[in-house]
Amino acid sequence: MRRRGLGIAAVAVVLAGFFPVPLTALAPVEVIAANATIVTAPVDGVIAEIPVEPNSRVGDTDVILTFVDTKLRNDAEVAARNVTVADAKYRKAVQGAFGSARDNRDVAVAQAELEVRKAEAVFAQDMLARATVRSGRTGLLLYSAKSDWVGRPVATGERIMEIADPRDVEARIDLPVTDVVTAKEGGRAVIYLDSDPLHPIEAELYRVAYQASLTGDGQHAFRLFARMKHAGGVEPRIGTRGTAQVYGERVSLFFYLFRRPITAARQKLGV
């Protein structure tokens, strides 16, 4: 009887190995803004002031960033004076013209120079205006800290901060490269935030990166983005971190339990 019981148990274990279960993986997750406006440096220069504190609300016309504008202001003044000089030369050429071809050429040259100087003045004024950056939309101003940016030289296009709607958020999941087989668009994920681990949040993957990138801790991971389904319409705070359980295709229980040992053996033995 004992031998028969062991046989039945062995058969049950083998049959259980074929039972289909969803393949899952755990990965770090962070709540981010879904449709944030990225604020980049409009000019090469040094940041003079950030009048708004981090994580503060701003209006669509609020000044959020100013650059040291000494050179830009001087360039604009010089360009304006060049316009005055070119205008005087043009007027003098017009007054001195008596209808000869040479006089007409002098007028044409003076007029062309005046147009160039005017264009330079417009460009200089535009660059000076860029030294003051306004938000352009209402939302939450997100950046690290004033001390990280004030007095720091930046290049045109360098990312400085972003403006986001705190009610429009999504989840960013950094899935380890060893678990990428579980990730697919339209797949399911369950998010457990560190601030509220007892209330998991259902989410649906809508974008999966095809190339791995370095995370903040120096690890390679595939970046996934998911839309969260919040109970009661309560939105988690931007920047909140936690753990996401990503669900993939259904596999046998045997493969689910021994996937990592099999992978490790193949990598080590080359089979």
Question: What region does 67 belong to: left with phi over 0, alpha with psi -120 to 50, or beta?
Answer: beta
Q: Judge whether residue 231 has pLDDT over 90.
A: no
Tokens (6 digits) for 137 = 């939309």
One domain for residues 122 and 214: no
The answer as to whether 11 is a domain residue is no
Neighbours of 83 (CB within 10 A): 19
The answer as to whether 1 is a domain residue is no
- Judge if pTM exceeds 0.75: no
* Banded pLDDT at 271 (limits 50, 70, 90): low
CA distance 94 to 111: 9
More confident residue, 110 or 213: 110
Residue 247: phi and psi, rounded to 5, are -105, 135
The answer as to whether 2 is a domain residue is no
One domain for residues 102 and 81: yes
| Residue 61, domain CATH | 2.40.50.100
Closest Cα partner for 186 from 247, 252, 251, 250? 247
Q: Which amino acid is at 246?
A: V
Of 84, 113, 130, the position where a domain reaches its end is 130
One domain for residues 29 and 137: no
Q: Is 45 exposed, middle or buried (0-12, 13-18, 19+ CB in 10 A)?
A: buried
The answer as to whether 12 is a domain residue is no
One domain for residues 154 and 41: yes
Tokens (6 digits) for 157 = 């296009």
- Measured distance between the N- and C-terminal CA atoms of the chain, rounded to whole angstroms: 41
Mean pLDDT check: name the lowest of 30-34, 64-68, 86-90, 234-238.
Answer: 234-238
Q: Which domain holds residue 88?
A: 69-130
**Reduced DSSP (H G I as helix, E B as strand, rest coil) percent helix, strand, coil of the chain, to 5:** 40, 35, 25
Of 144, 164, 184, the position where a domain reaches its end is 164
The answer as to whether 7 is a domain residue is no
pLDDT digits (tens, 9 = 90+) for 2-54: 565 555 555 554 544 444 556 778 889 999 888 888 999 999 999 999 999 99
Which H, E and C letters describe 115-137, residue by residue? Answer: HHHHHHHHHHHHHHHCCEEECCC
What strand order describes the sheet that includes 132-134?
132-134, 63-67, 45-49, 153-154
One domain for residues 140 and 56: yes
The answer as to whether 5 is a domain residue is no
Q: How many structural domains does the chain have?
A: 3
- DSSP code of 52? S
Q: What is the pLDDT of residue 27?
A: 87
pLDDT digits (tens, 9 = 90+) for 117-168: 999 999 999 999 999 999 988 999 999 889 999 999 999 999 999 999 888 8
Of 130, 153, 181, the position where a domain reaches its end is 130
Neighbours of 56 (CB within 10 A): 12
One domain for residues 47 and 144: yes
One domain for residues 220 and 201: yes
Q: Judge whether residue 240 has pLDDT over 70.
A: yes
Beta strands in 186-264 (DSSP E): 188-193, 196-208, 213-214, 220-229, 241-252
**Percent of residues, the chain, with pLDDT higher than 90:** 33
The answer as to whether 6 is a domain residue is no
Q: What is the pLDDT of residue 58?
A: 92
Q: What is the pLDDT of residue 51?
A: 93
More confident residue, 96 or 76: 76
* Banded pLDDT at 215 (limits 50, 70, 90): confident
Query: What average pLDDT does the chain have?
Result: 81
One domain for residues 73 and 173: no
One domain for residues 149 and 54: yes
Q: What is the pLDDT of residue 249?
A: 66
One domain for residues 160 and 44: yes
One domain for residues 29 and 86: no
Q: Are 137 and 48 in contact (CB under 8 A)?
A: no
One domain for residues 41 and 143: yes
Pairing of strands 188-193, 241-252: antiparallel
How confident is the model over 76-99, as a mean pLDDT?
Answer: 85
User: Position of tokens 């083998």?
Assistant: 14
| Residue 243, domain CATH | 2.40.30.170
Q: What is the pLDDT of residue 98?
A: 61
